[in-house]
Amino acid sequence: MVTPKRTHFPSWILLLLAAALLSTAACRSGLERATVAKVDQMEQAWRASPVSSYRIVVDVDRPGDRRRNELLVEDGAVIQATVKYWDPQRKAWDEPFPLNQEQAEPFTVLGLFEMVREQILLPERAQVQVKWRESPPMPELIVLGPVSMNGQPVSGTEATVFLESFEPLAGK
């Protein structure tokens, strides 16, 4: 009888795999089903002690589409906004394109609150989950399940919106 040879992985590979799994789980942990009441509560907390000037980077991932929105907001107004698209072949971001005010607005802090609220109220979207950032209060991760049509989920309509970075601007 031949005994199969056991393959041993170096311990650093196992640690790396474990860390990757924990990181993914940690990113998703804290997600909760979004409600209008919670959105209103968190938005009120934001407005109670707002940061009126900030830099914000928001990534949007959809099937076959990944975008990075970078905004500079001063005194509540968007003064600079760009979007970059992910090139999967090069595994790098393309050059940025400017966004106008209307295109940039959903990626401001108040725009993120409004995005969640609109998606909750959309009858075709059954699943809206949010991970909340506490200080300052805002959505940190938004997971939108697929839209349903005739009771069936429509593939490709799901999206993940992730707060990549937020930096209050001092003195503003």
Comparing 4 with 138, the larger pLDDT belongs to 138
* 71 found inside a domain: yes
pLDDT digits (tens, 9 = 90+) for 31-79: 999 999 999 999 999 999 879 999 999 999 999 999 999 999 999 999 9
| Cα–Cα distance, 80 to 101 (Å, whole number) | 9
Q: Which CATH number do you get for residue 39? A: 2.50.20
Q: Is the pLDDT of residue 7 over 90?
A: no
What pLDDT was estimated at residue 144?
97
Dihedral angle at the C-alpha atoms of 67, 70, 73, 78, nearest 10 degrees? -60
Among 165, 120, 123, CA closest to 142: 120
* 143 found inside a domain: yes
- Residue 151's pLDDT band, with cuts at 50, 70 and 90, is confident
* 20 found inside a domain: no
* 12 found inside a domain: no
Q: Which residues of 88-109 are buried (b: 16+ CB within 10 A; e: fewer)?
A: eeeeeeeeeeebeeeebbbbbb
What pLDDT was estimated at residue 29?
77
What pLDDT was estimated at residue 121?
95
Q: What is the DSSP string of 87-147?
A: ETTTTEEPPPEE--HHHHGGGSHHHHHHHHHHHHH-TTB--EEEEEEETTEEEEEEEEPPB
Domain count, the chain: 1
pLDDT digits (tens, 9 = 90+) for 67-122: 999 999 999 999 999 999 999 999 999 999 999 999 999 999 999 999 999 999 99
Dihedral of alpha carbons 19, 131, 157, 64, sign: negative
Domain of 42, in residue numbers: 31-168
| Cα–Cα distance, 17 to 20 (Å, whole number) | 5
- Residue 1's pLDDT band, with cuts at 50, 70 and 90, is low
What pLDDT was estimated at residue 71?
98
* 9 found inside a domain: no
Q: What is the largest CA-CA distance in the chain?
A: 77
What pLDDT was estimated at residue 49?
80
* 4 found inside a domain: no
* 91 found inside a domain: yes
Among 37, 52, 49, CA closest to 117: 37
Q: Is the pLDDT of residue 150 over 50?
A: yes
* 11 found inside a domain: no
Comparing 171 with 73, the larger pLDDT belongs to 73
